[in-house]
Structures are given as structure tokens and as C-alpha cells.
Amino acid sequence: MKWLLLVVPLAVSFYTCTYGLWALKNGYRRGGIGVFVLAALVLALAVYSLFFRQEF
């Protein structure tokens, strides 16, 4: 079930990364790198909260 919950953050990160690639192609280097950092942060938080956080 946890793997199924990870599909949404993966989809959001994929969409965000495609925008980052577009930004890099069009010369928006700072924005493209920032978008990749944002996508990595979203995935890291999702994996942490689903697999490593202790439950109440």
C-alpha cells in the first residue's frame, strides 16, 4: 500500500522535472536547477514520511 501512495509524488516530480528540462533548454538555468531541487525535496519528504517516520 505504501508503494501505491508513492505514485502521486512520483507523478508530480516527473511533471516538475519535465518543466525543469524545458527551462534549461530555453536558457533559464537558475530556474531549471531550482525546479530539480524542488522535485528532489518532494520525493525525499514523501519517502521519509511513508517509510521511515514512526507511527503514533
Identify how many contiguous H helices and E strands the chain contains and give both numbers. Answer: 3, 0
Please report whether residue 23 resides in a domain. Answer: yes
Integer Cα distance of 26 and 28 in angstroms: 6
The range of the structural domain enclosing residue 14 comes to: 2-51
Please report whether residue 13 resides in a domain. Answer: yes
Please report whether residue 56 resides in a domain. Answer: no
Neighbour tally for 32: CB within 10 Å = 19
Please report whether residue 35 resides in a domain. Answer: yes
Please report whether residue 10 resides in a domain. Answer: yes
Structural domains counted in the chain: 1
What are the pLDDT digits (tens) for 2-55? 788 889 989 999 999 999 999 999 999 999 999 999 999 989 998 898 888 777
- pLDDT attached to residue 56: 62
Integer Cα distance of 43 and 7 in angstroms: 10
Please report whether residue 17 resides in a domain. Answer: yes
